[in-house]
Chains A and B, each alone.
Chain A
C-alpha cells in the first residue's frame, strides 16, 4: 500500500519560508507518476500548488509560481515544498499526493494525511 507522510514546522511567522517534506513508501518517485502538493485553507476547497514529474520537470500554479519550489531527493525517496514570504492567507492543511496522469487527465490516487500549517505573528 502506497503511503505518503508529510512533515514540517506547523507554525510560521509572516514573511518566513514554509518548508515541507513528503516521504514516500512503496512507490518510487522516479516512476511514471506525478508528485504533487495540494493545500486547503479553512472553509475552502483544495488548491493545487505544484507538481513534480520524472526527470525533475515541475509545474506550478500561476498564482503561486513566484514563491514556490518543488524538489526531490531520489535517494531518500521523498519530495519537498518550499513556499517563501508566507502570509496568513497561506494557513491551511498541506497534502502531499501521488497522481496518475495520462494526457490531460490527472487524478490523485494516493493522499497523505495532511500537515497543518499556521501563519501567525
Chain B
C-alpha cells in the first residue's frame, strides 16, 4: 500500500487531455510540501517530468503540467501522443514517517 494514492489507470485518444491525481495527507501533501512527477517506460530509466508541483526540467514538453490543491496534486497531459504511454508516479516527503521519499502506486496511461 503506497503512501500516496493514484488511480491505477487512465486512458485517452491521441490529442486528448488526461489528468492524473495524487492524494495524500497533511504530512506529505500539506503546507510546505513538494510534489514531483516521473514518467517510466518499463525497461528504461524513469524520467523526471515535473518538480516542485509545477516546474518542468529543460527538455520536457509543455504538454505536461502540474498543479496542486490542499492535500492533492495533479499531472495533466495535453495533446496526448502515442509516446506518452507509460507509468507515471508522484513523489513527496513524509515528515510523520521520517521517510525522505514517498511515492504513489503509479498510474498507467494508455493511448487508445
Residues of A within 8 A of B (CB): 36, 38, 44-48, 51, 59, 61-62, 95, 100, 104-114
Contact = CB atoms under 8 A, between A and B. Distances in A.
Given A38-B101, A113-B44, A104 B51 contact: no
Interface in B60-112: 89, 91, 93, 95, 97-106
Interface in B11-36: 32-34, 36
Q: Across the A-B interface, give the 7 residue pairs with the lowest CB-CB distance, nearest first.
A: A105-B34, A48-B101, A107-B36, A45-B2, A45-B105, A111-B45, A107-B51
A100 B36 CA distance: 12
Interface of B: 2, 4, 32-34, 36, 38, 44-48, 51-52, 57, 89, 91, 93, 95, 97-106
B102 A48 contact: yes
A44 B2 contact: yes
A105 B52 contact: yes
Given A38-B101, A46-B103, A108-B36, A113 B57 contact: no
A68 to B, nearest CB: 13
A74 B97 CA distance: 31
Contacts of A95: 45-46
Contact of A108 (B34, B44, B48): B48
Contacts of A38: 101
B56 to A, nearest CB: 12
Given A45-B103, A48-B102, A107 B89 contact: no
